[in-house]
Amino acid sequence: MPSFSKILLGSVAAGGVGTGGVMTLRHFSNKEESIKEALKGEDIELISSLAIPKAQYELEYESDKDLIKKEINYQGDKKDEGGAKLKEWCDSKILLPSKDNGDLISKIKKWCSIRTVSNQLSRAGKTLLTASSKADNWNKALQEVKKVKKDRTKVGLDGNWDQNTDTNDINTMKTWCTGKGDEKFLATNKESIYDIVESWCSVNTTNYVN
């Protein structure tokens, strides 16, 4: 029995260089680009690309629980089940055609991809501080961590909280915080990166001074 490719080539050959032959070839060779393929072209890194994605799906689920539960139709309240349901949702949706699916693509970028620390801070109602942020904002961040006596060594500070070293402390904080917003928001480094950035390098958006 002749193969499909031979039949296809034969039909094109029979059509010569005419329109019929070209249209036949296009009909069989055209393939709609999937959302997964489209995102790859945008350098979006999906959670599914991780070797062990389970914890990351759970982290993502917890980060936007109410909206995600509504979208994936999950009524439970367990982190592991929610993460598993989110994975199922992401795995099925990324295979759909990218054409005319702009709203879905936006949701996949929000919940199925690896986001940045800065992105997560925004989701949590925080504003990342930068070297150009006003001194009032840095002072607010410092006073918050001082109030609960956070571990100063996490951002390279020496000494203890009993010393009056606010100006030097803020300068050291700025140095440590620089570039941290571009780090990946990952379950594997949440405690060593994100949690520290949230405490030391951000303030509540409602309190941010422009």
Beta strands in the chain (DSSP E): 126-128, 202-204
**3-state SS class at 124:** coil
**Alpha carbons 36 and 46: distance in angstroms, whole number:** 8
Per-residue pLDDT of 19-55, as tens digits, reads 444 444 444 445 789 999 999 989 899 999 999 999 9
Please, which residues bridge with residue 12 across strands?
Answer: none
pLDDT digits (tens, 9 = 90+) for 148-166: 999 999 999 987 898 889 9
What is the CB neighbour count within 10 angstroms for residue 106?
10
pLDDT tens digits for range 123-152? 999 999 999 999 999 999 999 999 999 999
> Rounded to two decimals, what is the model's pTM?
0.82
pLDDT in tens, 44-95: 999 999 999 999 999 999 999 999 999 999 999 999 999 999 999 999 999 9
Query: How high is the pLDDT of residue 70?
Result: 98
